[in-house]
Amino acid sequence: MINQQDVITIKLPFPNISSDLAVTAHMYICDKRNKDDYFFVECQTFRNKFYHLHNYIIERADITRNPFKNTFLIDCDKLFNIRSVSISEDLLTRKRRDVSEELFNEIENKLIKESYLINEIDRLDVSRLNRKINLLPR
């Protein structure tokens, strides 16, 4: 079972099934979970280029705080919502399954202080891209 603070690696059909997020798997932190509905924050490798983000956290690799191997940028401008799915624990990151309470609180504080967009993700597309995400009856 995937819970709040857990980190998974999946392909996400955003903004569409042909986008970079759909072609390559990225890490996502589970921000909220309500039964079979999930909200995720995206993590991307920090590459010292200009990002068009307003609200983010730059997080260095630190096994006491996160499962990242490199410095990562946590995008707090948007949440991705996937409804009525079952997500296998096989998609959890290996080094550590979650982020620390301290890092999670930093993310929550950023989300609370700033406005963010909620992007509804097509559950059929996400299931097609990730065989370990199964559709559930609505």
| pLDDT, tens only, 47-77 | 766 567 889 999 999 999 999 999 999 999 9
Give the mean pLDDT of the chain: 94
Q: pLDDT by residue (tens digit) across 5-20? A: 999 999 999 999 988 8
Of 36 and 20, the structure prediction assigns the larger pLDDT to: 36
- Span 86-95, mean pLDDT? 97
Model confidence pLDDT, tens digit, residues 98-128:
999 999 999 999 999 988 999 999 999 999 9
Report pTM.
0.95
Rounded CA separation 35/135 (Å): 13
pLDDT of residue 49: 64
What does the pLDDT read at residue 21? 80
- Give the per-residue pLDDT at 50: 56
Question: What is the mean pLDDT of the segment spanning 89-99?
Answer: 97
Say if residues 73 and 124 touch (Cβ distance below 8 Å): no
